[in-house]
Amino acid sequence: MANFTRRKFIQVAGGAAAVSSLGFPAIVGAASKKVVIVGGGTAGATAAKYIRMADPSVDVTLIEPNENYYTCYMSNEVLSGHRTMDSIRVSYDGLKGHGVSIVHDTVIDIDPAGKIVTTDGGKSFAYDRCIVAPGISLRDNIEGYDIGAMKVMPHAWKAGDQTVLLRKQLEAMPDGGVVAIAAPPNPFRCPPGPYERACQIAMYLQANKPKSKVVIMDSKDKFSKMGLFKQAFAKHFPDHIEWVGASAGGKVTRVDASTNTLYTGDTAHKVAVANVIPAQKAGAIAQKAGLTDDSGWCPIEGRTFESTIHKGIHVVGDASIAKPLPKSGYAANSEGKVAAAAVVAMLKGEEPGDPALVNTCYSIVGPNDAISVAMVYDLKEGQLSKVEGSGGLTPKDSPAEMRARDVQYAYSWYDNIVHDSFG
């Protein structure tokens, strides 16, 4: 990492909770305040936990339809067979231990004026502050890719049943078949994800179906960690991964699920397995609540992650416009902490402190080979900004020992972030 040692980064990252919590005010006696959190992914769970840690007098209710959370990070390893679905399943028991009230229901309405959240189950929850962490929804930018097509051409971009389906398709495909990954345009959840996925699937094919290959059909000409990924493709999978950029005819515009065919313009590509990842936008409830702008994402104020459209509501995680932070699990964790600190301060009528946020992202690209990117962010002139010299990429010429260590760092990072967010 350029100008920033791994030791220094780990010190910052390991202290992310402390850095992000510098704005937490001291607990004082007061009437109980109510915070309702919509969405129990990494961002929402982190916010819930850290509010309760900062001020146990705050009544925190987290509303999430699913009884368990499946992490998108590390879900690609399920496709290679290196992990099981159970290994990426997280319960909400840890949050309950912090005094968070968990309601398994679907939010159908948020009333910013009345400060009421309403669920599909007919319940209403009043709030003093609301945190919305709705994740993503999929755009209909690919003709023919609808709910029915998803059952044949899984996106697997929300870990769970779709991940299982894609894995089963890989197991069932004949040797010699082509696996197509239709990669989405920016911005989208987990920018390196499609390319790590290609590596993970290729590892499975090399071991089990060596005559098969992965073709990445991309709607872009550039992508995250591009140089390092292309290096890994050439080193580990010269016969098993092909990348086709948009300018070379890689953009998928239409699909026919009945024949497992993808179209790039007028060219048809019939494949054995089609992993179609559409363009994305903020989760549906954010749109319904009027928290999105014309981009389909949620504009926020960088110090507090409070919506610039509806005061009293904070938006964290993938749904927020938090540039230059990526839409990643670690960023979601950091954003949840910043919002938690801001909410606790604002409930007490105090001024929130300036935030510090951290992101790191590991991609396992081959046997005993991982790459990473890291960055620290702060607030400059009211805007979230990269801290100059605070991060960087794995060097292309890094030794094999470093790459192997990064695999172990990736696994440790996973365990730590799950515990930090949900434990």
The mean pLDDT of the chain is: 93
Q: Are residues 290 and 415 in the same domain?
A: yes
Q: How confident is the model at residue 24, as a pLDDT?
A: 43
Q: What is the DSSP letter of 289?
A: T
Say if residue 192's pLDDT is above 50.
Answer: yes
> Any alpha helices (H) in 209-322, and if so which ranges?
226-236, 284-288
Residue 366 C-alpha from the chain's centroid: 22
Q: 114 Cβ partners below 8 Å, 6+ apart?
A: none
Mean pLDDT of 111-127: 97
Number of Cβ atoms within 10 Å of the Cβ of 249: 12
- Asked if residue 284 belongs to a domain, the reply is yes
Q: Give the CATH number, domain containing residue 198.
A: 3.50.50.60
Instruction: Answer with the one of 256, 276, 296 that is the final residue of a domain.
Output: 276
Q: Are residues 382 and 340 in the same domain?
A: yes
Residue 55 main-chain phi, psi, to 5 deg: -150, 95
Q: Are residues 284 and 213 in the same domain?
A: no
Are 374 and 9 contacting, i.e. CB atoms less than 8 angstroms apart? yes
Are 374 and 13 contacting, i.e. CB atoms less than 8 angstroms apart? yes
Q: How confident is the model at residue 327, as a pLDDT?
A: 98
Q: Are residues 301 and 249 in the same domain?
A: no
Global pTM value = 0.91
Q: How confident is the model at residue 26, as a pLDDT?
A: 40
Instruction: Answer with the one of 276, 303, 325 that is the final residue of a domain.
Output: 276
Q: Are residues 369 and 235 in the same domain?
A: no
Number of Cβ atoms within 10 Å of the Cβ of 353: 19
- Asked if residue 48 belongs to a domain, the reply is yes
Q: Quickly state the pLDDT bin for 3 (edges 50, 70, 90).
A: very low
Distance CA 319, CA 161 (A): 22
Of 380, 374, 391, the C-alpha closest to 356 is 380
Of 168, 130, 371, 176, the C-alpha closest to 275 is 168
Q: Are residues 293 and 355 in the same domain?
A: yes
pLDDT digits (tens, 9 = 90+) for 392-404: 999 999 999 999 9
Domain that holds residue 19: 6-137+280-422
Say if residue 43's pLDDT is above 50.
Answer: yes
Number of domains composing the chain: 2
Q: Residue 117: enclosing H or E segment and its boundaries? A: strand 116-119
> Any alpha helices (H) in 209-277, and if so which ranges?
226-236
Say if residue 377's pLDDT is above 90.
Answer: yes
pLDDT digits (tens, 9 = 90+) for 132-180: 999 999 999 999 999 999 999 999 999 999 999 999 999 999 999 999 9
Residue 30 in 3-state DSSP? coil
Q: Quickly state the pLDDT bin for 337 (edges 50, 70, 90).
A: very high
Are 45 and 38 contacting, i.e. CB atoms less than 8 angstroms apart? no
Q: Are residues 317 and 400 in the same domain?
A: yes
- Asked if residue 36 belongs to a domain, the reply is yes
Q: Are residues 304 and 405 in the same domain?
A: yes
Q: Residue 414: enclosing H or E segment and its boundaries? A: helix 400-422
How would you class 288 by CB atoms within 10 Å of its CB: exposed for 0-12, middle for 13-18, buried for 19 or more?
A: middle
Q: Are residues 376 and 392 in the same domain?
A: yes
Q: Are residues 84 and 173 in the same domain?
A: no
Q: How confident is the model at residue 31, as a pLDDT?
A: 54
Q: Are residues 129 and 12 in the same domain?
A: yes
pLDDT digits (tens, 9 = 90+) for 217-271: 999 999 999 999 999 999 999 999 999 999 999 999 999 999 999 999 999 999 9
Instruction: Answer with the one of 276, 299, 327 that is the final residue of a domain.
Output: 276
Say if residue 4's pLDDT is above 70.
Answer: no
Give the tokens for residue 42.
Answer: 């990494």
Q: How confident is the model at residue 351, as a pLDDT?
A: 95
% residues pLDDT > 90 (the chain): 91
- Asked if residue 1 belongs to a domain, the reply is no
Q: Are residues 151 and 169 in the same domain?
A: yes
Residue 322 in 3-state DSSP? coil
Distance CA 313, CA 115 (A): 9
Cα dist. 344→24, 47, 157 in Å? 7, 10, 33
